[in-house]
A and B are shown apart, each in its own frame.
Chain A
Amino acid sequence: MAGTVFDPPVAGWERRMPGDKRFYLWVLLCSSILMIGLSGAWIFVGQHNNPVKRFRTTPEEFSQRVAEFVDKYQVAPRTVRVPPGEDAYLLSRMWSFYPDLILKKGHTYTIWYSSADVTHNPQIAGQLLTFQAVPGHAQGVTLTPNTTGTFLVYCGEYCGVGHQTMMGKIIVED
C-alpha cells in the first residue's frame, strides 16, 4: 500500500507542486479576492448596509421607553401610528411583539428592537428582513416601506414552548 494515505508520503513529496494544482490554487485565490473585494465595496462604497445603531439598556428601561412611546402615539389598543420622522419601538417578549405599528409608505423609519426576557428575532413575513432582539441591547433597524399592506411579524429565534404563537404586525398605509 505504499504511496497511499495510510503510509508516510514517498520521499520527495515536498518538492514543487505540479503545475495544474498551482494553476487551480491561483484560480481559487483570484476568485476569492474578487468576491471579498465586491462584498467590501458593497459595504464601504455602496453604503448598502445593515444598521449599526445600537445602545445598551436593560429590559426594564427599554420596557419603560416602549410604554411611553405607546402612550404618546396610541390610536387603538396596542396599536401605534408612528409619525414620520419619529423613531418606533418594538418590544419582544414571551410570546408576543408589542405594539403593532402603523407606518406611512415612502417614509424612512428607525425601529428599535430589544427584548424583555430571552433573545428573540422579529421577522417580517415575505420581506426577508431579520434582526435580533437581545435583552440588554437595543438595535435600530432603518427601513423605508415601499408597499402598502398588513405584514405579519413572527419570531425566528427559539424562545420557549410558545415560540410558534409569538406574533405581531406592521401596517403600511398610503
Chain B
Amino acid sequence: MEAIYTDPETGLRLDRATRRLILTFLATAFIALGGAATAALLVALTRAPAIQLLWPSAYYMTLTFHGILSLTIWPHVFEAAIWLWVGTSLLRTRLISPALGWLAYGLAALGILMILGTVASGKASVMYTLYVPLRADPLFYLGHVLYAVGLLVLMILFGLNLLKARAEGSYTGSWPLLTYGMAVSAILTVIAIIGAVAAFVPATLWAFRILVEKVDPLYFKAAFWSMGHTLQYTNITAMVVAWYATATFAVKAKPVSEKFSRWAFALYLVTTLPVFMHHLLVDPTWSHAVKWVGATFVGILLGIPSAMHGLAVPASVEKTLRSRGASGLWGWLRQWGWDNPSMVLLAFSIVLFGIGGFDGTVATTMQLNMTRHNNMWIPAHIHGALAGGTTLAFLAFSYGFLPHLGFEIKGKGLAKFQAWLTGIGFMILMAGMHWGAHYGVPRRMQDIRFVGADAPVPNWFASMNLLGIGGTMAAIGVLIFVIIALTTLLSGSRRQPEMVAEARDLRPASEQARGLVGATARVVVHEPTA
C-alpha cells in the first residue's frame, strides 16, 4: 500500500516518503532563517552608531553566524525542498530512493552542526569568507566539507530522478519550466562543488596541520569564490524558479514564452562560470586583460538572463490579469494583489534583485571596483541580490507552497503585515547601505568612531543609523515569517492521503487518460515502420 497526497487546487500528487523529506528540509531551512534573522537584528543594532549594542568579539561572532546561516545554509537547504518537489511531483513520479535523500540530509545536518558549534564556541569568528591564513577550529572546515558532500548526494539523487522519470515516460514532451530551471541550478551546484574541493581540501588539511603547511591566500580566495559565486547563481536560478511558481500559485499565471524563459535559464550556465574573478580585481594577481574578461566582460553579460526573467515574470502576471479584465496601461499593477503577502513579497523581491544586480555590475567594472571594494557597497549588493531577491522570493514561494502541501497558513493578517514590513525594511536598509558606500564606510566593522585616531575621522553616523532602522525592520519582518511558517508546519496538515495499492504513476487522472491516447497514437504511428 502506498500513501499519495493530491493537491485539489493543481491536481499535482506527492507520495508520502518524498513529502516527509520535503517537510524536513523546509523546517530546517526555516529554523536556519530564524537564526540568521536574529543575528541580523543584533548586527544591525551594532552597526547603528546610536546603539552599538555588541562588543567586538561578540559582534564578529554574530556576524559570522549571520553570514553563514543566511548565505551558506538557509538558501541551499530551502532549495533542497524545491529540488525534491520539481524532481518528483512535477514529473509525476516518485523519488527513486528516499534513503539517499535522508543520507544527504544527515550529512548536511551534521556539517551544519559542526559549523555552527565551532562558531558558537568562539573559535571560528572568521566570517563566511574564512580567508586563509585567518585560522579557525579544524572542525569548522570539516563541517563545510560534510555539508558540501551532503549537497552532492542530493544532486546525484535529483539527477537519477530525472533519468528515472524519462525512462518511465511519466511525463510527455519536455520538462516543466520549473524542473528545467532547477536542473540548471543543479548543474551550477555540481560545478561549485568542484571549486569547494579545490578550496576546502587544502584548507582542511592546513587547519588540521596535516601535510599542508601553507595555503596561498590568493589561491584560496580564487578557489573559494569559484565555489561561492557559482553557488550564488544556484540561489538566483532557484529564486527565478520561485518567482514563476509564486505567480502560478497566486494568480495561476502562465509564462509569456516558454522558449524565452528557457533561453534565459540556459544563459546562466554560460555566463556564470568565470565571474568569480571580480573578487580579485584589487588583489595582486592576473593581468588587466584576464581581469577584464573574467570579471567585467562576463559580469555585464550576466545581467542579460536576469533582465529577461525580471520582465518575463511580471509580464506573465500582467497577461493573466489583463485576461481577467484589468484595463489601461497600469490597471494590472493596481490588481497585482497588494493584499496577498505572496504577491507583495514577489514585487519587492523583483525590485530589490534589480537594485542588487545593478550594484553587482558596477562592482565588476575594474575602475569602479577599487572605489567599492570592501565598503558598504558589497553588503548592499548582497542584501539586494541574495537577501532581498532570493530570501524574499522564497518567503513568497512558501506562502503558496505550504498550502499546496496541505497546510493552512496561520495568522493571515500578520502575514500581510510581515510582507510589507520586510519589504519596506529592506528598501530602507539598502538606502542606508548605498548612502554609506558613497562615502566609503567599511563593511564588517564593529566601531566606526576610530577611537584614538590622530587623523580627522569622517562622520558616517547618519547613513549607518538609517541602516540600523532598515535592518531592524527587515529582521523583525523575517522573524515574524519564521514564527508563522513554523506554527503552520507544527499545527499539521488536515489533508488525507489516498491509499493506493501500487502507485507506479502519479499523474493526475485527466492526464493519465491523455497519456494513454498519446501512447496508443504512438503505437499506431510506429506500426507500419516496424
Contacts and interface: CB of A to CB of B under 8 A. Distances in A.
B131 A119 contact: yes
The listed residue with most A CB atoms (<10 A of its CB), out of B216, B258, B287, B457, is B258
Interface string B243-259: 01100100011111111
B500 interface: no
Leading 5 A-B pairs by shortest Cβ distance: A156-B374, A139-B284, A54-B284, A128-B371, A13-B258
The listed residue with most A CB atoms (<10 A of its CB), out of B217, B221, B303, B454, is B217
Given A9-B174, A134-B218, A152-B450, A50 B308 contact: no
26 contacts: A5-B177, A5-B248, A6-B176, A6-B248, A8-B173, A28-B303, A28-B307, A29-B304, A39-B367, A50-B369, A54-B284, A117-B133, A126-B440, A129-B370, A130-B374, A132-B284, A137-B285, A152-B456, A157-B374, A158-B134, A163-B60, A163-B444, A163-B445, A164-B446, A165-B452, A167-B450
A40 interface: yes
B503 to A, nearest CB: 19
A102 interface: no
Contacts, number: 225
The listed residue with most B CB atoms (<10 A of its CB), out of A13, A118, A151, is A13
Interface residues of A, number: 71
Nearest to A132: B283
A50 B308 CA distance: 32
Contacts of B451: 165
What size tier do the contact residues of chain B reach? 35 or more
Given A5-B245, A152-B455, A131 B370 contact: yes
Contact of B283 (A3, A21, A134): A134
A165 B258 CA distance: 55
Contacts of B454: 169
Interface in A17-43: 17-18, 21, 24-25, 28-29, 32, 35-36, 39-40, 42-43
Nearest to A140: B284
A133 to B, nearest CB: 9
B93 interface: no
A2 to B, nearest CB: 9
Nearest to A53: B284
A135 interface: yes
A52 interface: yes
Contacts of B448: 164
A163 B60 CA distance: 10
A39 B133 CA distance: 33
Nearest to A155: B442
Contacts of B285: 54, 137
Interface of B: 10-12, 56-57, 60, 90, 125-127, 129, 131, 133-134, 171-178, 216-218, 221, 244-245, 248, 252-260, 263, 281-285, 287-288, 292, 296-297, 300-301, 303-304, 307-308, 311, 365-367, 369-375, 439-440, 442-448, 450-458
Contacts of A154: 442, 445, 450
Contacts of B374: 121, 123, 130, 156-157
B368 to A, nearest CB: 9
B interface SS class: loop
A86 interface: no
A169 B248 contact: no
A7 B254 CA distance: 10
Given A6-B12, A36-B296, A131-B282, A169 B134 contact: no
A54 B393 CA distance: 43
B367 A1 contact: no
B217 A32 contact: no
Contacts of A130: 282, 370-371, 373-375, 440
A14 B454 CA distance: 67
B176 A158 contact: no
Contacts of B308: 24-25, 28
B90 A6 contact: yes
A85 interface: no
A119 B307 CA distance: 35
A150 interface: yes
Given A1-B10, A9-B173, A150-B456, 16 more contacts: A5-B177, A6-B12, A18-B256, A28-B308, A32-B303, A36-B296, A50-B288, A118-B217, A126-B439, A128-B372, A130-B282, A132-B284, A134-B217, A134-B284, A157-B374, A164-B447
